[in-house]
Amino acid sequence: MNEKKESNRQDQQDDKVQIVLTRRPIDEPFKIFSKHMKKRAKTFIEYQVPSAQDNLKSWITSFRGGIGLMGLILVTFIPLMLNDTVYYHTFIMAMIYSIYAASWDLLSGVSGQVSFGQAAYFGIGGYSCAYFIIYLGFDWFPSIFIGGILAILFGLLVAVPCLRFTGPYLALGTLAFSLLLFNLFHMASLSHIFFGEQGIPVPTLSIFSFKGNIITEFLIVLIIMIICIVVMLAIFNSRLGTIFKAIRDDETSTEAAGINTMRYKLYAFMISAFFAGIAGSFYVLHIGKADYNIYSSLMSFYPIIFTLVGGIALISGSVFGAYFYALTNLFLDELFDFFTQMGFFPEFFNNLPTAFISLIFSIILLILIRFTERGIMEPTIKHSKTLWDLIIGK
Amino acid sequence: MAFVEFLIYGTVLGFILSLLSMGYSLVYGVGGITNLAHGAFYMLTGYVVFWLSNPDYDINLPYNISIIIGLLFITFFGAFIYYALIKPAEHNEILIMIITFALAVFLEQFVSTIEGLQENMMRAIYLDPWLSGSVEILGITFSYQNIVVVTGAFLVIVLTFLFISKTKTGKSIRAVSQDREAAELMGINVDRTLVVTLMISALLAGVAAVLYVPEVDILPISGWDFLLMSMSVVILGGLGSVTGSILGAFIISFARFFTFYYIDTPLGVAFYGVVHLIVIIIVLLIRPQGLFGKKQRT
């Protein structure tokens, strides 16, 4: 009897499996800890959670990382090399739009709260930044953050009523808020509060402290864009991002798992509004004016389009879509200029400019939305990878 | 005097909004389609009739013929949009909203471009009223166009009701709106029913345009205003309820003109354009299913 008991206990001990998670670098062994653990367990699995450096290294050496890095280098150095104001303008707008589109993606693609009124936070950020610079005499750098913070407050204001529903009602509620702002800031009779028709004019380049030329602005926006996108990617890959994705995929199960979905949905709105506000501040500083058009439905629509073109629920997709738009716009502009110079088009085509380009772009977008399922960035990357593998002979 | 104007304009817009929102609510109730291009349909019909009939453009058809062609055009355009854009995105409500939004933006740009080709500036276009002149009853001046609008809209609403309740297609529409799968099992061609519903919706928007544009000039961006007004009417009345739409239409229309005429003038003139947006927000806060909302589409 006693022997049996002994052997039973021995069996139980033998069957223990201990899994240890550690943050130590992969080649440094445990000394004290493992000896104690090994006494109590028979099977001992040591799993090293990769550190940040390991993550970065593996990302860079992978194909996607290579493309990403190459894209970053191109985006930084092409305008610097071409050194023409037009290219600086295009790339600055692309960067502003990419922060804006990524903020929408974080809210709608990653967290599933589809918002048709992103322009509300974009515009509030812009107007606040302009207000603080012009009327309160702040410097540009704090004003941008103040724009982001006031946008957060407005994001909460919109989120609290709209989050009572899901799906179309939520989208319509956000759309209603942004158009309400559009009308409020447009009305001449409320100009004493809301600035009316002419908005707030802002001195553009001279506002960035040193020298104040467009290269400075380009570099500043570039750095801020990289920081914002990296932060958003970090959120995407973190536990917070996983909760957002869980809420998007199956809200009931997430609630059942004990997560307070309402709180996290509010977080999603707040973070998204913050980045949209930052983008809005830069937009106003670049355009030189904060006017009511910033709240238009077209402006709400841009991030949706950019993200859909690039690939929804990936932050990088929205960046791709924003650049796609800016570069296509530039390309079409140059194409039309070229053709007009060559005399291919009759005289009255000179008056077309922006409407016609917007028209062509909306056709392109309708076709892209209709025929691509998840945007064009992913298939492009996959096909490039296949091509690359072919080239290097795998 | 303001009271009379308030009544007249309120009634006219009320009928127009009931036409528009009936179409919008039908499409949503039957197919779950949130057609954000509904306002663009309105705007497009107005412009098409203008282009066909106005002597500045070289087509220059008689006014009545251009109206008929315009209405036919928008009806078949609705069918085309269903097969080209909406059907591939079936069951994905958010994607349909995005696609119809894209379509609305495209139509607005398209109309702006063509207008921009003709003249270098954007101007509001106008249509001649059917019958010009006015009549005086009891000292109040009604323009003939007002009477035309009210009568025309009333007729169309009655016709639509009759269509939905009496004809076979109308019954399929009601069946599909109640339970899509059961209707399919009963042998109703749901696809065809959806197309017909969208065509009716487009036709209603077209009729609204033909009736109202002679009264109020339109610009390419007017489509958005009417889209939001239809949306607010439908949300107020309850998605899926036609009676609710009509009642909501008159409430919103009178609220709009009430704000215009009777609230403290600077604020009133300011706010009359946003009344329907505030209504949307209030309804969504207090009673999301609207006044007569019968079902929540899940």
One DSSP character per residue, A302-330 reads HHHHHHHHH-TT-HHHHHHHHHHHHHHHH
Closest by alpha carbon to A224, among A278, A283, A288, A274?
Answer: A278
Pick from B102, B112, B266: which is nearest to A355 by CB?
A: B112
Pick from B88, B112, B280: which is nearest to A370 by CB?
A: B88
pLDDT at residue B156, rounded to an integer? 93
The label of the residue with tokens 């003038």 reads: B265
pLDDT band at B281 (very low <50, low <70, confident <90, very high): confident
| B287 vs B34 pLDDT, higher one | B34
Mean pLDDT lowest for which of A290-299, A327-336, B207-216, B264-273?
Answer: B264-273
pLDDT band at A118 (very low <50, low <70, confident <90, very high): very high
| A108 vs A215 pLDDT, higher one | A108
Pick from B117, B235, B273: which is nearest to A183 by CB?
A: B273
Pick from A162, A356, A363: which is nearest to B106 by CB?
A: A363
Q: What angle do CA A40, A45, A46 make, to 5 degrees?
A: 110
pLDDT in tens, B62-82: 888 888 999 999 999 999 999
pLDDT in tens, B88-104: 777 777 788 888 888 88
Name, in order, each residue with C-beta under 8 angstroms of A36's C-beta and a sequence gap of 6 or more. none
The helix (H) or strand (E) run that includes residue A46 is strand A43-48
Chain B residue nearest residue A367, CA to CA: B85
Pairing of strands B134-137, A289-290: unpaired
Chain B neighbors of A358, CB-CB under 8 A: 109
pLDDT at residue A379, rounded to an integer? 80
pLDDT at A113 over 50: yes
pLDDT at B118 over 60: no
B219/chain A closest Cα distance in angstroms: 14
| A149 vs B272 pLDDT, higher one | A149
3-state secondary structure of A289: strand
In this structure, which amino acid lies at residue B245? Answer: S
**Counts of helices then strands in chain A (DSSP H, E):** 17, 4
Supply the ipTM of this predicted assembly: 0.77
Query: Checking phi first, is residue B122 left (phi over 0); if not, alpha (psi -120 to 50) or beta?
Result: beta
In this structure, which amino acid lies at residue A361? Answer: F
pLDDT in tens, B209-237: 988 888 777 877 778 888 888 888 988 88
Mean pLDDT lowest for which of A7-16, A314-323, B5-14, B45-54?
Answer: A7-16
Chain B residue nearest residue A369, CA to CA: B99
Interchain CB distance below 8 Å, B281 and A173: yes
Q: What is the mean pLDDT of residues A242-264?
A: 90
Interface membership of B263 toward A (CB under 8 Å): no
Name, in order, each residue with C-beta under 8 angstroms of A107's C-beta and a sequence gap of 6 or more. A113, A115, A118, A268, A269, A271, A272
pLDDT at residue A185, rounded to an integer? 81
B106/chain A closest Cα distance in angstroms: 5
d(CA B66, CA B49): 5
- DSSP labels, B105-149: HHHHHHHHHHHHHHSSS---B----SS-SEEEETTEEEEHHHHHH
The label of the residue with tokens 């809301």 reads: A194
Q: What is the mean pLDDT of residues A100-121?
A: 91
d(CA B122, CA B141): 32
pLDDT at residue B238, rounded to an integer? 80
CA A143 to chain centre: 21
pLDDT at residue A228, rounded to an integer? 94
Chain A neighbors of B116, CB-CB under 8 A: 351-352, 355-356
What single-letter DSSP state applies at residue B293?
Answer: -
Chain B residue nearest residue A174, CA to CA: B281
Interchain CB distance below 8 Å, B94 and A167: yes
Query: Which phi and psi (to 5°) does residue A44 adopt?
Result: -130, 110
Mean pLDDT lowest for which of A25-34, A77-86, A368-377, B229-238?
Answer: A25-34
d(CA A230, CA B157): 56
pLDDT band at A22 (very low <50, low <70, confident <90, very high): low
| Cβ atoms of residues B254 and B210 within 8 Å | no
Interface membership of A367 toward B (CB under 8 Å): no
Token pair, residue A66, equals 């290579």
Name, in order, each residue with C-beta under 8 angstroms of B198's C-beta and a sequence gap of 6 or more. B27, B31, B33, B35, B78, B79, B81, B82, B86
CB pairs under 8 A between A and B: 102
Chain B neighbors of A173, CB-CB under 8 A: 280-281, 284
Domain ranges of chain A: 10-49, 84-391
| A368 vs B236 pLDDT, higher one | B236
| β-sheet bridge partners, residue A47 | A21
**Interaxial angle between packed helices B93-118 and B222-237, expressed in degrees from 0 to 180 and rounded to the nearest 10:** 150
Token pair, residue A291, equals 């006017």
Mutate to test the interface with A, among B231, B269, B274 (most CBs of A within 10 A): B274
Interface membership of B269 toward A (CB under 8 Å): yes
Interchain CB distance below 8 Å, A366 and B99: yes
| Cβ atoms of residues B16 and B153 within 8 Å | yes
pLDDT above 70 covers a percentage of chain A that reads: 75
The helix (H) or strand (E) run that includes residue A48 is strand A43-48
Interchain CB distance below 8 Å, A183 and B224: no
Alpha helices in chain B (DSSP H): 2-31, 38-53, 63-81, 93-118, 144-166, 168-178, 180-185, 190-212, 222-237, 242-262, 265-271, 275-286
The label of the residue with tokens 């609403």 reads: B157
pLDDT in tens, B140-179: 677 777 888 888 899 999 999 899 889 999 999 989 888 8
pLDDT above 90 covers a percentage of chain B that reads: 22
pTM of the model: 0.79
Chain B neighbors of A187, CB-CB under 8 A: 270, 273
pLDDT at A11 over 50: no
Interchain CB distance below 8 Å, B228 and A176: yes
Mean pLDDT lowest for which of A16-20, B143-147, B276-280?
Answer: A16-20
d(CA B51, CA A57): 62
